Structure 1
Amino acid sequence: MIKDTSAQDVMVSPKRNITKIVISIAVVALLIAFAAKAFIFNAEASRSFDRSTVQVATVELGDLIRDVSANGRIVAANAPQVYSPEQGFVELKVNAGDSVKVGQIIAVVESPELANELQQQRSEMNRLEGELSRQELDSRSQALQLTKQLDIAQVDLEAAQRENRRAQASIQSNLISQIDFEKAVDDLARAKLTQKHAKEEVAIAKDRLQFELDSARSRLARQSLVVEELERKIAQLNIEASVNGVVGNLLVQTKALVAKNDALMTLVDLSAYEVELNVAESYANDIAIGMPVEIKVSGNTVMGTLSAISPEVENRQVKTRVRFNEESVEGIRQNQQVSSRILLDNKLQVVKVRRGSFMQSGGFVAYKVDGDIATKINISTGASSMREVEILSGLQPNDQIIISNYDEFNGIEQLRLN
């Protein structure tokens, strides 16, 4: 009996399908190649960033106002200091913050030395006045004596002339001797000489007396000027305000001993304010007197004009002064902090973009946004302001770029924005 056919079976080894194996290997290799290509393609954009963490701006075509930002403070255009005119003890008549008017006495300096010197000089002037009066009396007395001598000489001359005429008549009649006649002639000559000398002496004496009087009057006039100067200095000890405003800082205490020309206090003229700005040294060659300035004061924007530029640089900054265009600006105080923009020039119809931290990279590259991909491109920039930057090449209007800081991008060529 035959149980089954197992005795007839022969084990045969299966034949492998070589073609199918080759095809499978080719498909796997192709998939690997595509995966590698996709990996390589996305390697540059493999880093993604949250769109909310970057700033994107649109390139525009418009006017660019080139400006310089500067911070400063409100200062009084006229803030004179008050000085002591002489050494002495000062008595302050006002306190810091008090309102003052022109001509108001704000301080008094007591100077005992100056008061004593004034009394001495007045006494000297009184002495010179008495000396002048005495000199005038002496001159009148001496002039009288000289006039008397001249009159006597004139009388003697007339008497000698009469004797001479009588002698000539007598000598013709042989009534007198020749000696008496010659004596009469000599007496006449002597009288003429005496009268001539008396006249010359009177003239010289009058000139001398006039000179002495003029000298005495000159000494008195000089002394009068000395007294007037001391009186002027005494009057200046009552120090008056030179402006309408308020008292700033008191630099001394009342009843303090001060020296000549010591500062006593500062006055602030409230009718004239200016802005003192500190401009970076790099912009020193760009600014000029007369440029318009936009100033923000207490939330308001007012215009001013650059009126002065310091010729020196301090702490890498240049100090400038700005004068308000308006006569009165409300809400300003001495030393109030302000911010401003110095408007350098205005460029019309240029390609521009909002300024951002991307300028820290030098302004040579930018990341242009196209959908969700940002690609690194080369650009060139021109003039810049506080708010905008001029684009010279590399971008067109309506293009979008990332304007935030590029440090975290590490120079990659492409990135994805989620």
Structure 2
Amino acid sequence: MIKDTSAQDVQVKAPINYKKYAIITAVIFIAASTIAYIFLTSHSAKSSISRSKIQVAKVHVKALIRDIAASGKIVAANAPKIYSPERGFIDLKVKAGDTVKQGGTLALLQSPELTNELKQQESVLKRLQGEQQRQHLQARRQTLTLNKTLDMAQVELNAAERENRRAQLSIQKHLISQIDLEKAVDDLSRAKLSYKHAQQEVLLAKDTLAFELQAAKSDVTRQQLIVDDLIRKVSNLSIKATVTGIVGNLLVQQKAAVTQSQPLMTLVDLSNFEAELQVPESYANELGLGMEVELKLGNETVMGNLSAISPEVNNREVTARVRFDGVSNNIRQNQRLTARILLDNRQDIMQVKRGAFMQQGGIVAYKVQGNIAKRIPITIGATSINAVELLSGVKENDEIIISSYSDFKQADTILLN
């Protein structure tokens, strides 16, 4: 009887699977390496932060456009203010917002004092003109008298010369005595002297009359200038528009009493606009007339140039004016805008995108190498709205963290998860 087949069984050894052991060994090695790397890096980094919470930018070498961001508004390039020419009562002919043309009447000023003074001075002018005419008549009368005197002296001289010739002939024929001859000679000398003095008196009198006439004429001319000036002032009581545009603000009430040089209203010339920008005081020394400015007007972008820079600082800001060509019929007075003032354009500058890391003063940055960010010293140069020049500490294609470092606690190394 056979119990079982155990006597026939032969023990056979199973073949060894080396590939399976190799895979298991490799997996164990990789896991150990990863654990070791994490262990080492976690011990060398003093802090860790998620990559989603930071912003990293690459260092580039390219052109750097230095610029300044500013805000402002559209203002009329020509917005004159109208002033009262004299004291009086104002009669306004327009309202705020009315359209006016250059030369149109804006208001009438009633000035009784000025009107009365004009009438008084015109009366004085007429009196002086009458005095001048009287001087002319008096001069003609005196000239006639002087000419008569001169003519009589001439007749007497002719008579004396004739008597002298008769006496000379008579003395030769012994018809008269020597005394009569001498008397004739004396009469001739007296006549010559009288004629000479008459001539001088006539010349002096004519000069005197000419002087008096010139003085009278000067008085009339002076008074005429006074009257002309008063006429000009009275004509200015009708206040005219100096530009074509609209009435901005009325600064006085209807029929109000106003003083000389008191502001009455403002006009706005809508044919020419400028941009008025408020620039931070720290950039004031870098501004210059003629600099290019990029203006953002709604959906439109236009280029302009700095035309004026205020020498005053108000609220830590400097006011600048930008002249540009009108680009739209939709442009309005006091329309808000943003601007970019282009200060400089420099080529081949090592730079990085501007970010909150500048809050650290621009002296340190965190350079990213793999999963580690190391704190390094840097030196910055020129800055613009979008970029910062890097003078030292990095090289091209390096990556640095440009977001805020407030959570880094000044750690030398940061682990990026």
Shorter-chain TM-score category?
Answer: 0.7 to 0.9
Distance (Å, rounded) in 2 between the aligned partners of 1:356 and 1:314 = 28
Distance (Å, rounded) in 1 between the aligned partners of 2:328 and 2:79 = 18
Give the counterpart letter for 2:383 in structure 1.
S
2:277 is aligned with 1:277 = yes
Instruction: Encode CA deviations 1:86-131: one digit per residue, 9 max, x unaligned.
Output: 1111222222222222212222222111111111111111111111
- Matching residue of 1:350: 349
The worse-fitting range, judged by mean Cα deviation, of 403-412 and 166-175 is: 166-175
- Matching residue of 1:331: 330
- Matching residue of 2:358: 359
**TM-score (ref. length: structure 2):** 0.82
- Matching residue of 2:56: 56
Q: What stretches of structure 1 of length at least 5 have no aligned partner?
A: 1-34
Instruction: Encode CA deviations 1:145-204: one digit per residue, 9 max, x unaligned.
Output: 222222222222222333333333333334334443333333333223222222222222
**TM-score (ref. length: structure 1):** 0.82
Task: Determine if contact 1:363/1:380 at 8 Å carries over to the other structure.
Answer: yes
2:255 is aligned with 1:251 = no
Distance (Å, rounded) in 2 between the aligned partners of 1:379 and 1:178 = 136
Task: Determine if contact 2:46/2:412 at 8 Å carries over to the other structure.
Answer: no
Give the counterpart letter for 2:387 in structure 1.
E
- Matching residue of 1:318: 318
Structural mapping, 1:55-94, within 5 Å? 55-94=55-94
Task: Determine if contact 2:273/2:326 at 8 Å carries over to the other structure.
Answer: no
- Matching residue of 2:97: 97
Distance (Å, rounded) in 2 between the aligned partners of 1:346 and 1:86 = 55
- Matching residue of 1:206: 206
Could you tell me how far 1:360 is from its partner in structure 2? Answer: 0.6
Distance (Å, rounded) in 1 between the aligned partners of 2:279 and 2:296 = 16
Task: Determine if contact 1:44/1:415 at 8 Å carries over to the other structure.
Answer: no
Distance (Å, rounded) in 1 between the aligned partners of 2:150 and 2:103 = 64
Q: What stretches of structure 2 of length at least 5 have no aligned partner?
A: 1-34
Distance (Å, rounded) in 1 between the aligned partners of 2:367 and 2:117 = 87
Distance (Å, rounded) in 2 between the aligned partners of 1:397 and 1:108 = 73
- Matching residue of 1:106: 106
- Matching residue of 2:159: 159
Distance (Å, rounded) in 2 between the aligned partners of 1:90 and 1:216 = 40
- Matching residue of 2:411: 412
- Matching residue of 1:24: none
CA distance change for structure 1 residues 190 and 52 in 2, over 3 Å: closer, same or farther? same
Instruction: Encode CA deviations 1:212-264: one digit per residue, 9 max, x unaligned.
Output: 11211121111111111111111122222222222222222222221111121
Could you tell me how far 1:415 is from its partner in structure 2? Answer: 4.1
Distance (Å, rounded) in 2 between the aligned partners of 1:166 and 1:398 = 137
SS in 1 for 2:286: coil
Could you tell me how far 1:287 is from its partner in structure 2? Answer: 2.5
Give the counterpart letter for 1:54 in structure 2.
I
Task: Determine if contact 2:76/2:270 at 8 Å carries over to the other structure.
Answer: yes
Distance (Å, rounded) in 1 between the aligned partners of 2:393 and 2:182 = 137
SS in 2 for 1:310: strand
